Amino acid sequence: MITFKDQLNRIVHLKDTPKRIISLVPSQTELLCDLGLESSLVGVTKFCVHPHYIKTNVTVVGGTKQINLEKIKALQPDVILCNMEENTKVIVEACELICAVHVSDIYNIDDSIELIQQYGSIFNKKQKAISISNTIKYEMNHFKTFILNKSVLKAVYFIWKNPWMVAANNTFINYLLQLNNFENKYASKMRYPEIDILKTATHENVDLVLLSSEPFPFKETHKQELQEYYPNATIVLVDGEMFSWYGSRLTKAFSYFKSLRLNLQNSAL
C-alpha cells in the first residue's frame, strides 16, 4: 500500500505503483510523458496537445471542465490526476468514486517542483523528476540574473475576449509576470476578473499589453483592436503555455522569456 498527500494535503491511498493513469490537465499530461510515463497513460483531455500525437494514441475522456465518466470507468484507471484550477470539485468527487485522485495546486515555481517530485515518487520516476526539476531551477536562476537590471514594465495580460478577462493576483501567470519584471496592472484584483476596457482609467499607464494564445486564441487583429484602448502601449502576442503551464514546459519557458524581453528591448520598450 502506498499512502501520500497531494497538494491540497488530501491523503491518497494506492495499492501499488499506478500502471493505468488518466490525466485531466494538459500541462500534467506533457509532464507525465517527459517523465517516461507515456505508455501508462490511458486517458487524456481534448486539450492535451503535447506531445502532439497523444490524442491519437490515448483515449480522450472529455475536457477539463466536462468529462465522460463512463469512458473513464471503462478505462479502469489506477489513478486520476487533476488540478485545483483546471478541474471542478464535482469532477474530483466523481472521479474519487472510481479510483484514487491526486489534485495539484500551483501558484509558483516551488509548487511546480513539488508536483514534479510527487509524481517522481508516486510513479517510481524519481531520477527523471530530479533531472527535470534541476533543469527548471538552472534555467530560472540564469533568467533571474538576466532580468535583474531590466526595467519594470507596467503590463496587462489578457486571457479572454467577450468578456475581456485578465490574469490578476493569486495566479501562476501573475507569479511569472513578476519574474519577468512585468508589473501587473490588475494585481489588486484576484484570479481572472472581467474588465470593462471602456471604463478602465489605467490605459495611459500601461507599457505593455500581452495577448495570450490560450485559452482564447488571440490573433493580430486583436492587437489592432486593443491599440485603440491602449494607444501608448506595446501590444504583443505571447505563448500562453509558457506563462501558464507549470510542468516540464518550464524547462523551455525561461529561454522564451529572455527572447521576449530582448524583442521588447529591440522595439525600444
Q: Cell triple for residue 7? A: 497538494
Domain 2-138 matches domain 150-238 at the CATH topology level: yes
Domain positions in the chain: 2-138, 150-238
* Per-position pLDDT tens, the chain of length 269: 889 899 999 999 999 999 999 999 999 999 999 999 999 999 999 999 999 999 999 999 999 999 999 999 999 999 999 999 999 999 999 999 999 999 999 999 999 999 999 999 999 999 999 999 999 999 999 999 999 999 999 999 999 999 999 999 999 999 999 999 999 999 999 999 999 987 765 566 899 999 999 999 999 999 999 998 999 999 999 999 999 999 999 999 999 999 999 999 887 65
CATH node for 2-138? 3.40.50.1980
- For residue 28, the one-letter residue type is Q
C-alpha cell at 60: 480522450
- Mapping DSSP to helix (H, G, I), strand (E, B) and coil, where does residue 245 land? coil
If DSSP codes are grouped into helix, strand and coil, which group holds residue 233? coil
Q: Are 191 and 165 in contact (CB under 8 A)?
A: no
What's the grid cell of residue 42?
490511458
Three cell numbers written together for 122: 508516486
In the CATH scheme, what is the code of domain 150-238?
3.40.50.1980
Helices (H), 13-67: 26-34, 54-57
